[in-house]
Amino acid sequence: MGYRKVSLMEGEFYHVYNRGNSRQRIFFDDNDYRRFIKLLYICNSVKKLDFREDIVEKKIDVWDVDREKTLVSIGAWVLMPNHFHIYIITSPKDGLSGDSKDNNITIFMRKLCTAYSKYINTKYKRTGSLFEGRFKSVHISDDIQAKYLFSYIHLNAVKLIDKNWKINGIKNWTKVKKFLENYKWSSYLDYKKVVRHENNILNIEAFPSYFKNIKDFNTEINDWLM
């Protein structure tokens, strides 16, 4: 991996993402999505945890693992067939890893992508790089951009049922809303206050409070869909 042209800064917000090598799929069935989601949680720790040795072989529920201090705070995420998006910020200083010169976002993303690549290569008996190089990052410094990112990430999945909706507009609102409410592979349901294990991935308190309640969140989503 080459060096990043602009270093990631502690305490700053970033939109990070990566996609499959040559735009190939990175999720092939529901179990793959579930594994990545669990890795979003378990890799976000200063502890060195191996999914197979520390979770599978010990027959521990991943959501019961004590992560101690986290590397980053996650504000939103979505998984798509051949890529993913995460809204992220480094955790407070007392949660930073002391055994590396890398930014904690880099450490977290390396752990996440390496663990998932290993899982996919083993499961499907494949070799080579799963992802298209190192993860990409966009520094979020503008408040308007920061608020929009929650909608951008959560509405990414709409492309799966209407790839041209941003150009042509929404033709079937009922279909789109039903799809989003049933799409398990993003943090959309967490903002809708659906109680599930995935709630534990987010640390919403680390991000500006743009949505005081579900109504505010719904209004923002509907505005962008329009």
CATH code for residues 13-225:
3.30.70.1290
pLDDT level of residue 95 (50, 70, 90 thresholds): very low
* CB 40, CB 112: distance < 8 Å: yes
Provide the token pair at 81.
């067939």
Which comes out higher in pLDDT, residue 130 or 55?
130
Is the pLDDT reported for residue 100 higher than 60? no
Is the pLDDT reported for residue 1 higher than 90? no
Chain segment 116-135, per-residue pLDDT in tens: 999 999 999 998 899 998 99
Mean pLDDT of 47-70: 87
Chain segment 17-43, per-residue pLDDT in tens: 999 999 999 999 999 999 999 999 999
Mean pLDDT of 216-220: 92
DSSP 89: E
The CA distance from 203 to 224, in Å, is 24
Chain segment 141-186, per-residue pLDDT in tens: 889 999 999 999 999 999 999 988 988 888 888 999 999 999 999 9
DSSP 160: G
The CA distance from 90 to 103, in Å, is 8
Q: What pLDDT is stored for residue 138 in this prediction?
A: 94
Number of H helices, E strands in the chain: 7, 4
Provide the token pair at 99.
């055994």
Phi/psi of residue 75, each to 5°? -105, -25
Tell me the one-letter amino acid at 107.
Answer: I
- Which residues make Cβ contacts (< 8 Å) with residue 189, sequence separation at least 6? 181, 183, 196, 198
| Torsion, Cα of 82, 29, 186, 172 (10° steps) | 80
Tokens 């502890």 sit on residue: 47
Q: What pLDDT is stored for residue 9 in this prediction?
A: 87
E strands in 146-214: none
* CB 72, CB 89: distance < 8 Å: yes
